[in-house]
Amino acid sequence: MTQYGKGCDVLNVGDAVAARTLTTIDGVDVVVPARDAVVHLQFRRFAGCPICSLHMREMARRRQEIADAGIREVVLFHSDADQLRRYQADLPFAVVADPDRNVYAEFGVGSSLSAVLHPRAFVAAARGIRRTGLKGALSPGEDHTGRPADFLIGTDGVIRACKYGVHADDQWSVDELLAHVTPA
């Protein structure tokens, strides 16, 4: 469920997040919050996740719209950098490995069996496998039960909007993301 000015799960709209520097799989440092853009901090599942890969491809396809709205994409996976370079290296935005799930824990992004047992997760996984060819292979430390989460963080570090996914395919679409920064 997306929250507007209400409580999310652990962090809430209006909460400030501590500044941090994250290192991408390419060795580039990314500062969150950014001084010059709103950050869409995405928590995805594992490197070879067909659901995540399909979602990331849509984000990449529409990257110019996202950038034109003043949004910088920063995407975390609970995989190691080698696995991410294998599956996600072609993404045109910051991809960060968090195999120990330290940032996941700080933001309260967890796992649950229901994340993969939800009917929408099954449908999304089948669609992702068909379109990306990824079979959802796991590496050590990864699991299928991760839930996605989205945070929109202002230049002041305040969370403008957030969503903790209920199941594996429960994240903001590009249109939902853009609606958070586009005046009504």
pLDDT tens readout for residues 87-127:
888 899 999 999 999 999 999 996 665 665 555 654 555 55
Residue 10: predicted pLDDT: 80
Q: Is the pLDDT of residue 135 over 70?
A: no
More confident residue, 30 or 135: 30
Residues 6+ apart with CB under 8 A from 6: 12, 13
Tokens of 71: 């949004």
CATH code (residue 118): 3.40.30.10
Q: Is the pLDDT of residue 6 over 80?
A: no
For residue 7, how far is the Cα from the chain centroid? 19
Domain count, the chain: 1
Is residue 34 within 8 Å of 72, Cβ to Cβ?
Answer: yes
Residue 119: predicted pLDDT: 52
Q: Is the pLDDT of residue 9 over 60?
A: no
108-144 burial, b at 16+ Cβ within 10 Å, e below that, comes to ebbbeeebbebeebeebbeebbeebebebeeeeebeb
Decide: helix, strand or coil at residue 66.
Answer: helix
Q: Identify the CA nearest to 46 among candidates 125, 141, 159, 152.
A: 141
Output the pTM of the full model.
0.84
Full domain range(s) for residue 67: 2-181
